[in-house]
Chain A
Amino acid sequence: MMNSFLSRTSSWVLALFLAVSAPAWAQQATVSKNGMTPGTAAAATPAAAAAPTGAQGAGGGDAAAIAAGDALFKNNCAQCHAVNDKVVGPALAGISKRRPISWIIPWVHNSSKVIASGDEYAVKLFNDNGKQQMPAFPQLSDKEITSIVAWVTSQEGGANQTAGGATAANAGAADGQTGAAAGAAAGGYTDMLLIVLVVVLIVLVVTLAIIANLMKDVLQGRKDLDGRDIEVLNQRFDWAGLYRSPVLRGIVGTVFALVLLYEGVQSVMAVGLTQGYQPTQPIAFSHKIHAGENQINCAYCHTSVYKAKSANIPSANICMNCHSQIKTESPEIKKIYRAIERKQPIQWVRVHNLPDLAYFNHSQHTQVGGIQCQTCHGPIQNMEVVYQYSALTMGWCINCHRETPLNTKGNAYYDNLVKLHDKSNNAVPFTVSSNGGTECSKCHY
């Protein structure tokens, strides 16, 4: 009787242990998962997506032109202009009322030429904006400039809508925050519950152990026990027997070997994997402040992300566009000044390192594919210090190429391909890989 009781106690202890530790493991697992899957990025997406939706909602005029203007504005103008706020250049709201399009086009093509021609308004504009020269955009066609203006007009057209867009964005951001807060609160509650549970269980175990000891003492005090009972009472747990048990040894050995094997395979597979790599940078630059709180477009600093293989690390002169005025006393910003004075470029630590044998082109994915930065780089707008969010393994690349439908809309390159694809296999989505996106020579040459 006692025997069974004791063994029951030990199993209780074991169960208790499991019960205490299991949630902790589970928690760890979820944390790492949360950190590394696009799940968390979802909160950011509404905020990012809200603006264009607002724009489309504004309606009025040629919707296609406005949509084109949206993209053009983001790629060319957004670095220096906003619709309703003065950034580097003046706010553009009301531009179509202030100036005729026949004036805007030459201005965009080559503003310094217009100023040089002695145009009164141009000279005044130039002087009012701190004699900061606007770069020339000879590559933009008249039609493109018109569509940018159309987009700007659509943005300010109803101030409500713009506000709506902004609100939506804010709301999105707010949603994200509340979500996070809620998550934090919920986390706190379960922690408390767990702690209470653990305490209760420990108390239980201790109580039971005390009771068992008490009962043992009581039984030992009694003289009417027969031999068998005494034997049971005095029985010690045969640890040596356990140690000698071939079955147990076998089980433990196998488990150990399996664990070792698993860990071994895992660590070998992780050779060269740097997911989560978060080096300390020479300057404590925060993407959270710039991209998150101040919502600066990624392409403002990473100027070539829509046109080149690399999304370049911004040069110091881009920092100076704002930081010649803002936070000039910060010790971190002073490091930039020092770099400029000493003519020594800042040596950032590379976070994302692809092997040389793989060719990756940003513009292919951003400009052509229309992929958000966050898809691969994670919630960059929440990162104080940037870390490598995605695995950047070949499997990770290929998987996305297999699952992602091609962004063929409005791109004449794909028109015939889409037709051919739809003709032969209608229901299957036209993914990157079905257009040869998983062939070796697309990335290795």
Chain B
Amino acid sequence: MKYWKGIEELDNSPEFVKNAFAEFPDFLPVKEGRAGHADDSSVAPRRDFLKLMGFGVAAATLAACETPVRKAIPYLNKPEEIDPTVSNFYASTYFTGSDYNAVLVKNRDGRPIKLEGNPESPVTRGGLSARAQAAVLNLYDGGRLRHFMAKGKQVDFDELDRAVRAGLASTTGKTVLVSPTIISPSTKRAIAVMAGRARNFEHVMYDVNSASALIQANGGVLPAFDFSRANVIVSLGADFLGTWISPVEYSRQYITNRKVSSDKRTMSRHFQFETTLSLTGSNADVRVPVKPSEMGAVALALYNTVAGGGSVAGLSPAAQKQVAQAAKELQANRGASLVVSGSNDPAIQTVVAAINQSLGNVGTTLNLTAPSYVRQGEDARMTQFINDLKSGAVGTVIFYHANPVFNHPRGAEIEEALKGNKAALTISLNDRLDETGWLCQYQAPDHHWLESWNDFEPKRGSLSLAQPAITPLFKTRQAQETFLRWGGSNESYYNFLKDGWRTVLGSSGFQTAWDKAVHDGVATGSALTTTAFTTPALSIADATGRLGGGIKSGIEAVLYEKVGIGEGGVEANNPFLHELPDPISKATWGNYVAVPRKMAEEQKWKQNDVVKVTAGGKSIELPILVQPGQADGTVGIAVGYGRTKVGKVGDTVGANAFPLAQATPAGVMYYNTVTLEKTGATSPIAQTQTHHTIMDRHEVVQENTLAKYRENPKEVTEYERIATPEGLEKPNKVSLWQDYQYNDHHWGMAIDLNSCIGCGSCVIGCQTENNIAVVGKQQVINRREMHWMRIDRYYSSAHHEDEFEKEGKLKTYAAMEDPADNPQVIFQPMLCQHCNHAPCETVCPVLATTHSSEGLNQMTYNRCVGTRYCANNCPYKVRRFNWFSYYSNEKFEDVNGHMFTDLGRMVLNPDVTVRARGVMEKCSFCVQRIQLGKLEAKKQKRRPKDGEVVTACAQSCPTEAILFGDMRDPSSRISQLLRREDGERAFHVLDSINVQPNITYLTKIRNGAAEFFPTEEKENA
């Protein structure tokens, strides 16, 4: 099998070959002003050097004269539960209208510095998405509006309240509150209080990533899915592991039925029909690229096969074949299968609902009685609102965390209406002067959620709470309190909220129950009711009728969300998320047009060529990215980019693709027929994909099929043997090294490649925990990203060796000719392997990297002189060099702003040094957490318990793919796992060079194409 990281590697382009063998890019000028002059002119002249040296000596002398006086300022009145330098954890909830996560807020000296998953939550079960990981930085976002404003001037709360109350009373026409989905029962009650004072009040919820059709097709509710109970999963374009509805929850469910061991040799089978290679598609066993206009036909064909209808014309042969296969397997797993669709076409969703109905999945894998609440938006009502606004029927409009000017396909119309003063009173409660907010007359910014009280009901029966973890940073007011004020109530929102919970928790022993709920962050009970949908559901006959339309011939563009930036809300000003490489394309900082290779070759487009994408009279310009797996005749464009008023970080990164979506009467369709036109310009895309290429691919990633695993788990992993005089032996038989003796602890990590879905949560978790600098687009292009942990994504062709025997050599080779059309994907988290025989340690001339008595490969920054020998000698390419002072060099002020201002610096972890220029850094196995865990154990006079010490990456993983622990402790989970998997799936990357890493990987098992496993169906039946 051939693995490759990117098209350039597949083609073996000269650029790639050059970079693959050099650890550091050569001749990159440090002085950017002289870029392109890599000759003598970029060398500092002798006089400059002397001047600088002279100044340096003088400065050092002066600095040595006097030690600056430092103050120690204690609390005036120390709260009892707070001890300086001791972190407290408070349960809270992250929900930004799309992504629900129950979190624990790590609070150090009164400021939140990290978010972790709340294991008590029955919904997210301790997992956390990359977006939620990065959300703590949004609190200290300098782009937030810091005070109330009225008509461009700063005002205080009372003044604004008076003006708004007067306005509400005097304006005629409708009063409309526009918001994303609200799952907070108490917020809805607070809105109701305000509604009592407003004329013709209407609350319009709309979702940027709308599930309007899905709700409509399921009788007005969003079904709660349970992927863990499904043996066969068919997804029609739903990226449920990455961005669709509740990815963390679904990932956890999905993976429970994907993990294997020699005791459990079964896995679910996952079919994915989609256009752009998504995170979910990359994890699927069978992935079929289809055009968006073909999706209806796929759904219909599936329905007809399952429910026994006629055949469907127009499907591509590949899709036809896999639809038949999927249908067969679905039928074999009635009641234990699930079909989901990410489409917002009511007809498709109605058909999908009918398929699940006929398979008997309702009540098992799909629950309609305890539905999910995280999507409640109704596209039709938003359309109605826009029409009303334009016609002048709306007197007052309040935008509550809603930014439709940016993120609605008809945003330009809203902008025009607001500019034309079609509504008499316009108010924004958004946290900044964003594209919608700045057009409003009044701005009453809401607190950040980490400064607020709130409650949430993501799923019927599952409640959770948010509590303030910091005193409000700015002169803002919680939106709910604002609603209460405008509704004429002077109650604090906390009391209002608490009162509301009396009905949930019962009034006897309420205080105890309330305290417990606040402490745990979650509770059971229900307070929300489902609002009736006004759009009537389609009948199945109507739906099948509508799906008859053929596949369109033109180029179709699919709009998708990225795992990091998402819909481009406040996340768009978060540098962590901009620099998080896309799981598939590994691109950072901006969006692009993902085109299939075939189209690029036909049109003679090259990567980075800028094209103009036009749909329905609106066009945007973006560079080309050649994306393996992109369906023929389609392109993919990420939404959420191209913000203009979000802040220093996110403004003008990429282009806004929302206007390309179709706003049809049936709802927003996130695809459109487009024309593409080359502009002649080029714009580089900052991709990390082939950076840090490991020396050889042969024994880096390992995978095998479930069939083989069932036969014999001992044969799924290839173990390298080396030649010795006694014959072939394990690599560790021959060694020049003396082995270390570990008396106390021996920390190790196991990463299950079968469980890793590539979501990137660990990357951001690591970044927030370890104060890792953001370097910006240009430095990523220069191959200088600083992430200690990266997720390597390898493509491989879906053709196994056994195929040669079954299908014949000629046919297989023919199929392998163009592997980039629909490659298989494998993710491998790669971080410092903490080798016991570490090649980096031996080459450091100043002993800045050494081995500890607990198996850690230590990096001592204050000893490092920056020779970079270690990085050069690292076979895994996991060491990062600080080329700049990312915390003081003004070049990085925009992207790494949180290290520049007092406000931003509050997010830094005080236990971890901010590294200076000229030193090497790398994964430390979160040594600060190890030390803390050991200290706590010592204080309590006992050994540390297994699971007490976890690294940030292991903590954040929603699928528990990463396991960290003490290998010296025979009863720890990692010791047990390694004993069990030894000789089966456990392998070390590059075992043959015998560096003996402390990180063990477990071979990925694929439940591959069904025709290779004829016994499968019998067993499932």
A positions within 8 Å CB-CB of B: 135, 271-272, 274, 277, 279, 303-304, 307-310, 312-318, 339-340, 343-350, 353, 356-357, 359, 361, 363-364, 367-368, 410-413, 416-417, 420-421, 435-436, 439-442, 444-445
Contacts and interface: CB of A to CB of B under 8 A. Distances in A.
A441 B858 contact: yes
A421 to B, nearest CB: 8
Interface of B: 64, 67, 69-78, 80, 83-86, 743-744, 850, 852-854, 856, 858-863, 911-913, 924, 927-928, 931, 934-935, 937-939, 941-943
B852 A441 contact: yes
Given A313-B72, A348-B71, A436 B853 contact: yes
A339 to B, nearest CB: 7
Contacts of A439: 850, 852-853, 858
A168 to B, nearest CB: 28
Contacts of B84: 304, 308, 310, 312
Contacts of A279: 69
A349 B72 CA distance: 6
Contacts of B911: 359, 445
Given A417-B744, A441-B927, A445-B928, A315 B75 contact: yes
Given A349-B69, A353-B67, A314 B85 contact: no
A412 B927 contact: no
A445 B2 CA distance: 39
A363 B939 contact: yes
B67 A348 contact: no
Main DSSP-derived SS at the B contact region = loop
A367 B940 CA distance: 9
B862 A411 contact: no
A310 B85 contact: yes
B943 A440 contact: no
Given A307-B939, A435-B744, A439-B858, A340 B76 contact: yes
B71 A445 contact: no
B642 to A, nearest CB: 39
Nearest to B743: A420
A317 B911 CA distance: 28
Nearest to A320: B77
A349 B862 CA distance: 27
Can you list the 8 inter-chain pairs with the closest CB atoms, starting with the nearest? A436-B853, A309-B85, A441-B858, A315-B78, A315-B75, A440-B860, A313-B74, A304-B83
A133 to B, nearest CB: 11
Contacts of A368: 935, 938-939
Nearest to A270: B64
Given A348-B73, A440-B852, 9 more contacts: A304-B86, A315-B74, A317-B77, A349-B71, A359-B928, A367-B939, A436-B854, A441-B852, A444-B862
Interface centre among B80, B744, B863, B938 (most CB of A within 10 A): B938
Contact of B937 (A350, A353, A413, A421): A413
A413 B966 CA distance: 14
A345 B852 contact: no
Contact of A417 (B743, B850, B861): B743
A307 B69 contact: no
14 contacts: A307-B939, A309-B85, A345-B74, A346-B76, A347-B71, A348-B72, A349-B70, A363-B935, A368-B939, A416-B743, A417-B743, A439-B852, A441-B860, A444-B861
Contacts of A353: 67, 70
Given A304-B84, A411-B938, A347 B73 contact: yes
A315 B76 contact: yes
Nearest to A343: B76
Contacts of B72: 313, 347-350
Given A420-B743, A435-B744, A357 B862 contact: yes
Nearest to A340: B76
Nearest to A317: B77
Contacts of A345: 73-76
A30 B543 CA distance: 98
A413 B924 CA distance: 23
Contacts of B941: 410-413
B83 A445 contact: no
B80 A135 contact: yes
B915 to A, nearest CB: 10
Given A436-B744, A444-B860, A307 B86 contact: yes
Nearest to A344: B76
Contacts of B861: 357, 444
Contacts of A420: 743
A348 B83 CA distance: 18
Contact of B77 (A316, A348, A440): A316
Contact of B74 (A272, A348, A436): A348
Contact of A272 (B64, B76, B78, B856): B64
B618 to A, nearest CB: 51
Nearest to B745: A436
Contacts of B912: 445
A346 B927 CA distance: 35
A346 B74 contact: yes
A274 B66 CA distance: 10
A357 B914 CA distance: 9
A361 B911 CA distance: 11
B85 A304 contact: yes
Given A340-B76, A368-B938, A441-B927, A350 B70 contact: yes
B899 to A, nearest CB: 14
A308 B76 contact: no
Contact of A308 (B83, B744, B858, B862): B83
Given A361-B935, A368-B939, A413-B941, A309 B86 contact: yes
Given A363-B935, A413-B943, A357 B85 contact: no
Contacts of B931: 359, 442, 445
B67 A274 contact: yes
B562 to A, nearest CB: 32
Nearest to A304: B83
Contacts of B927: 441, 445
A347 B77 CA distance: 14
A364 to B, nearest CB: 6
A312 B860 CA distance: 28
A317 B78 CA distance: 7
Contacts of A441: 852, 856, 858-860, 924, 927
A135 B81 CA distance: 11
Contact of A314 (B74, B854, B943): B74
B856 to A, nearest CB: 6
Contacts of B74: 312-316, 345-346, 348
Contacts of B85: 304, 308-310, 312
Contacts of A312: 74, 78, 83-85
A444 B847 CA distance: 14
A440 B939 contact: no
B557 to A, nearest CB: 47
B78 A318 contact: yes
Contacts of A315: 74-78
B935 A364 contact: yes
Given A304-B83, A304-B84, A417-B744, A444 B913 contact: yes
Contacts of B863: 440
Contacts of A350: 69-72
A174 B912 CA distance: 46
Nearest to A368: B938
Nearest to A369: B938
A398 to B, nearest CB: 13
Contacts of B935: 361, 363-364, 368
Nearest to B912: A445
A416 B853 CA distance: 15
A412 B945 CA distance: 13
Contacts of A308: 83-86
Contacts of B934: 413
Contacts of A135: 80
A364 B935 CA distance: 7
Contact of A317 (B76, B854, B939): B76
A144 to B, nearest CB: 12
